């Protein structure tokens, strides 16, 4: 899936579960609770991880996108009697427990989307926001009926136990980036915010309009997180078999695997964090964000079909080709779609939009059941992108 960065795995000291909800707090008790201050610290350490989903766009100085400054912070306990909700905030990041998961508010979703657009314009963090949404949804197992045991887009990735999975290395940085938006719009669930951020990142990078719906319910405790090992690898011994094993478990097919792989047009990898790629190339030496790493495409913050062109050609040593990339033109079934997308950006955009929307709904429980649609159904991409079918996307 898109966002394929192999980031240094952080070791976190975050709340392992939210504080219990207080339903019967009196006004006086609430006032006292609201003034409590609880010390907390966030610590980081390093270890390599290799995730198929990852892509890196970083800035060492200002969190342009993935750099996290480690510091001790003060946590505050807030009590909201109206919703009977208790929030524990650790630095810029918070976990929330509520007695009843509520549907996201449509107006707040729209406002949050505008804030995400501004974040993307200033932090260049499209790759990691896509990765955040995909990793929350990508744990889905179609063979498990019960929610939330089946995994999927349920906001569980905000908990420490899941953040510490090797494939999720570095995603605490994405949470740091969007937590202020979550704080601002309390009536937007984490599950919806993760998917809203990913879809908006694709669109703002020049990609297709994703036919999204919202109203996803959040899990409420770390005990509801999926076990480690459900996300794909970047360099497995048998790439085609591995991709099918993981994505078929989610209910996706070969066409959707290849289409989603095309989002790797965004981002770069850093060898010091993942073991993959070069320390620097002519395409990454000047950023945006912190210089360095190796990208899959020349313009690695522009969403187009150039990923398939470069993977097919394999002519540029400054561009990254991983085993899970190369296999798209080696496996007979994958190759049919990879060849098509390399030649036809319109077809790629249409298939990608459908696959991304499907992925974002995997395992989710919606309230209301039919979901919340913010925009009219997008039109096919043919007219919009016909002129750019064979473009490399030069600005």
276 domain residue, yes or no: yes
Residues 227-252 have pLDDT tens digits of 999 999 878 899 999 999 999 999 99
Of 126, 135, 264, 356, which one is the catalytic site residue? 135
Domain assignment present for 71? no
Whether 261 and 196 map to the same domain: the answer is no
Q: How large is the average pLDDT for residues 265-281? A: 83
Parent domain of 151: 106-224
Helix 106-123 to helix 171-184 angle (10° resolution) is 130
The answer to whether residues 190 and 275 belong to one domain is no
How far apart, in whole angstroms, are the C-alpha atoms of residue 198 and residue 196? Answer: 6
Is cis: bond before 196, omega within 30 of 0?
no
In this predicted structure, which of 103-107, 190-194, 383-387 has the lowest mean pLDDT? Answer: 383-387
Q: Residue 53 and residue 231: Cα distance in Å, rounded?
A: 8
Question: Residue 349 has what pLDDT?
Answer: 98
Per-residue pLDDT of 56-90, as tens digits, reads 444 443 444 434 333 333 233 222 323 333 333 33
CATH number, position 270: 1.10.420.10
Residue 85: inside a domain: no
Residue 115 sits at the vertex; the CA angle it makes with 111 and 93, to the nearest 5 degrees, is 105
Task: With beta carbons less than 8 A apart as the criterion, state whether 235 and 271 touch.
Answer: no
User: Does any domain span residue 14?
Assistant: no
Alpha carbons 373 and 214: distance in angstroms, whole number: 6
Which residues, in sequence order, are CB contacts of 111 under 8 Å at separation 6+?
185
Is 183 among the domain residues? yes
Total count of domains within the chain:
2
Give the residue-averaged pLDDT of 181-188.
Answer: 98
Residue 128 sits in the same domain as residue 208:
yes
Q: Which of 96-105, 127-136, 338-347 has the lowest mean pLDDT?
A: 96-105
Q: Does 388 fall in a domain?
A: no
User: Is 165 part of the annotated catalytic residue set?
Assistant: no
When pLDDT is cut at 50, 70 and 90, the band that residue 102 belongs to is low
Whole-number pLDDT of residue 270: 77
Q: Residue 159's pLDDT band (boundaries 50, 70, 90)?
A: very high
369 lies in some domain: no
What is the structure's pLDDT at 273?
Answer: 65
Distance, in Å, from the CA atom of 299 to the CA atom of 174, rounded to the nearest integer, reads 21
Q: Same structural domain for residues 114 and 185? A: yes
- Please tell me whether residues 217 and 111 are part of one structural domain: yes
Section 177-183 average pLDDT: 98
Name the domain boundary from 196, 224, 252. 224
Torsion sign (Cα): 357, 358, 362, 365: positive
Task: For residue 72, count CB atoms less than 10 angstroms from its CB and return exposed for 0-12, middle for 13-18, buried for 19 or more.
Answer: exposed
Looking at residue 378, its pLDDT comes to: 63
Contact (Cβ atoms closer than 8 angstroms) between residue 6 and residue 275: yes
User: pLDDT for 40-50, tens place per residue?
Assistant: 333 333 333 44
Tell me, what CATH number does 178's domain have? Answer: 1.10.520.10
For residue 152, is it within any domain? yes
More confident position, 79 or 275: 275
As beta bridge partners, residue 96 has 87
């Amino acid at each position: 899936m898109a966002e394929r960065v192999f980031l240094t795995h952080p070791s976190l000291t975050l709340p392992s579960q939210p504080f219990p909800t207080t339903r019967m707090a009196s006004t006086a008790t609430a006032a006292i609770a609201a003034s409590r201050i609880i010390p907390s610290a966030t610590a980081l350490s390093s270890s390599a991880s290799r995730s198929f989903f990852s892509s890196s766009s970083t800035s060492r100085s200002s969190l342009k996108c993935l750099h996290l400054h480690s510091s001790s912070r003060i946590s505050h306990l807030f009590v909201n009697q109206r919703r009977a909700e208790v929030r524990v905030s650790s630095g810029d990041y918070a976990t929330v427990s509520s007695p009843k998961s509520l549907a996201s508010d449509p107006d707040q979703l729209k406002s949050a989307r505008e804030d995400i657009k501004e974040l993307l314009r200033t932090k260049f963090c499209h790759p990691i926001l896509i990765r955040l949404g995909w990793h929350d949804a990508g744990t889905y197992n179609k063979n498990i009926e019960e929610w939330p045991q089946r995994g999927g887009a349920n906001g569980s990735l905000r908990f420490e136990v899941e953040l510490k999975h090797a494939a999720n290395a570095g995603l605490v940085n994405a949470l740091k980036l969007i937590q202020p938006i979550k704080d601002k719009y309390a009536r937007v669930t984490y599950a919806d915010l993760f998917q809203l951020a990913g879809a908006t990142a694709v669109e703002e990078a020049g990609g297709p309009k994703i036919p999204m719906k919202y109203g996803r319910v959040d899990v409420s405790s770390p005990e509801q997180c999926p076990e480690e090992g459900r996300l794909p690898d970047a360099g497995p011994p048998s790439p085609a078999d591995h991709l099918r094993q993981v994505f078929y478990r989610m209910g996706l097919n070969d066409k959707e695997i290849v289409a989603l792989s095309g989002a790797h047009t965004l981002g770069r990898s850093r060898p010091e964090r993942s073991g993959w790629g070069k320390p620097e190339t002519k395409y990454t030496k000047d950023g945006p964000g912190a210089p360095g790493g190796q990208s899959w495409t020349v313009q690695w913050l522009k969403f187009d079909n150039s990923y398939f062109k470069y993977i097919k050609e394999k002519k540029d040593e400054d561009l990254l080709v991983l085993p899970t990339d190369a296999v798209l033109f080696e496996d007979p079934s994958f190759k049919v779609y990879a060849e098509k997308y390399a030649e036809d950006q319109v077809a790629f955009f249409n298939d990608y939009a459908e696959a991304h929307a499907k992925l974002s709904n995997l395992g989710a429980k919606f309230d209301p059941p039919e979901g919340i649609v913010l925009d009219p159904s997008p039109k096919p991409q043919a007219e919009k992108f016909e002129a750019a079918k064979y473009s490399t996307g030069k600005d």
